[in-house]
Amino acid sequence: MVKNNLNKEDLELLKNKEEAKRKLEEFEQMGEAHFSSSHNTPLRNDAFDLSDSEKITEISKHFYKIMEIMGLDMNDDSLKGTPHRVAKMYITEIFSGLDPKNSPEMRAFENKYHYNEMLVEKNITFHSTCEHHFVPIYGSAHVAYIPNGKVVGLSKLNRMVQYCAKRPQVQERLNVQIIEELKKALNTNDIAVLLEADHMCVASRGVQDVNSNTITAQYSGKFQEEATKAEFLKHVYHK
């Protein structure tokens, strides 16, 4: 029989390690489940206390540190500028949708043609970022609404999709955020949003499935009626 050489402290340490491992697994599963409790991106109250340029300076420093810890030679000409480039890209491009000051102006105007059937804007390209792994999510959005006296310029629908996408996201929440923003802008509940997306966290790591994509759809108002929903889906999938 193997003699157990572990004393009480060692055992305690091992137990803690087991517990830590279990906790970590729980967190990882939470990441995989893509679960979120509110349609608002979780932001702190002080989220905009720093200016954009202060944020870029701070993120650069920390990104420099990450690269340095990984052992990269930060004196290399090709790597030198990366921390600043990443920081600037985060604030002014891929996460610019966190800041309400960047929301597109959705000026609605009178629907003078009295067009009152559904309007479908399909294949809107969007690029987002998985908030669990910070790698890209990208795909197409298909948006429809039934005008309620007011209409917006078509490109505004694209802009709103892209604004909501430029945040750390989960696809389900992105879907809901787009629909909620459009409800406000268009002053109607009759809206449908369908997203088809590829998740790099699924394709390039984890299960490494490059062929799967994820579809979410949210319908509100008249789009919850079967016939209206069916008409929308016919437009989306009609080649």
Catalytic, out of 130, 162, 177, 181: 130
Q: How far is CA 113 from the centre of its chain?
A: 36
- Helix/strand/coil percentages in the chain, nearest 5: 50, 20, 35
Residue nearest to Zn ion (CB): 201
Distance between CA atoms of residues 184 and 152, nearest Å: 12
Catalytic, out of 171, 177, 181, 218: 171
* 132 versus 142: smaller Cβ distance to Zn ion: 132
Q: Verify whether residue 114 is a known catalytic residue.
A: no
Q: Verify whether residue 208 is a known catalytic residue.
A: no
β-bridge partners, 191: 145, 220
Distance between CA atoms of residues 39 and 175, nearest Å: 9
What's the closest the beta carbon of residue 67 comes to Zn ion, in angstroms? Answer: 22
Distance between CA atoms of residues 96 and 94, nearest Å: 6
* 133 versus 173: smaller Cβ distance to Zn ion: 133
* 133 versus 142: smaller Cβ distance to Zn ion: 133
Binding residues for Zn ion (CB under 5 A): 130, 132-133, 201
* 186 versus 201: smaller Cβ distance to Zn ion: 201
Structure tokens at 75: 């004196």
Q: Verify whether residue 132 is a known catalytic residue.
A: yes
Q: Verify whether residue 177 is a known catalytic residue.
A: no
Q: Verify whether residue 199 is a known catalytic residue.
A: yes
Q: Verify whether residue 142 is a known catalytic residue.
A: no
What's the closest the beta carbon of residue 165 comes to Zn ion, in angstroms? Answer: 15
| Category of 71 on φ-ψ map: left (φ > 0), alpha (ψ -120 to 50) or beta | left
Catalytic, out of 84, 121, 127, 131: 131
- Residues marked active site are found at 130-133, 171, 199, 201
